[in-house]
Structure 1
């Protein structure tokens, strides 16, 4: 089953290689913006100078890019509201269901495609971020602490991003476009709560956590991410078995 799923995932990745390239460039662009805000955040938190910056913007960009690193977000279904009516992911899955491919293979191939995309985009995002950050940043956040920071957010990408294959292939185009608005609402509440309770933004809070807890925080996030991603795959399998595409 695994070999079949890998073969199917590779075929899908090859089919979307141009959109993957555009998404890669988009990921680099967001990394460059993030580098400016993250550097100011480190200076504010651990430096000696007074720094003013928009922590809300940092949280919105960073958390959103974390969630969508496992998707080809620069593609028609994500950029065009026509997907609400046309529902291209459902049509694609309907075609695949018509083939003699077991449902577990289909669901696993969707998860593997997400994982491949996530790894490629994560390497792109965090490598660009690491290079773009000025030398002064690493005097406040050591390279080891920055690596812990990266692993923590990668775990978050696995935990939350693992939901994306289910949204794409287990729901409809309407849900695909409504989900970001729902997520932004939850994010707004989380940011507000974090600042009121801790007087820190989400990214700022994680930077403090990295300083305080080190690798234990990152490994916990990674464990939760792997567990959640596995769970989302099982839910997707069950959904594909029950869903009628015709």
Structure 2
């Protein structure tokens, strides 16, 4: 898949301010899909859930399990909305490239937002900033600052480097997996279009890789959410 971006350049006359319009469009669509799914799953709540409500409650329980695995529930329950938002938004974003390519074929506009490093690194930076915010909120500025110089003040540069590395690895892991999957889908689509392997020889690898991409998209949404809660636990828990 060609990921050459349709850019809106020099916004407001600023030479370095460019907008990737594909990202803008797909981020809006992903947000709308998540909003609609959540509205459908919660609009007619019943004591005995079924259908969309049952699926939504399953996701909530799944995120609760992630939080319980990383920190005490009394500490981590305030992060349930964050975890639910992350896992649903990232999952939908990861699968959009596969879904839209199946419908629209090869196109510059229709791709996963998470196949762009700017989007995934922005999500990662937001998560790391939130961990610092809640760390200060729970422990206070003085006590939180001491964590960066434990057990020795000489560890401060290493702790700061670790925060930068966490941002990069969290964002680039998600980007790399989704981008690589869409590139291979684009190559397989090109093989099918060329007719070199015939229709059957081209469509079987395409279907197999689409199925694998859906699996990877789900795993990456889980990993991003899990690591977010791990980083959050390190900041807000008193036993770290």
TM-score normalised to structure 2 length: 0.38
TM-score normalised to structure 1 length: 0.37
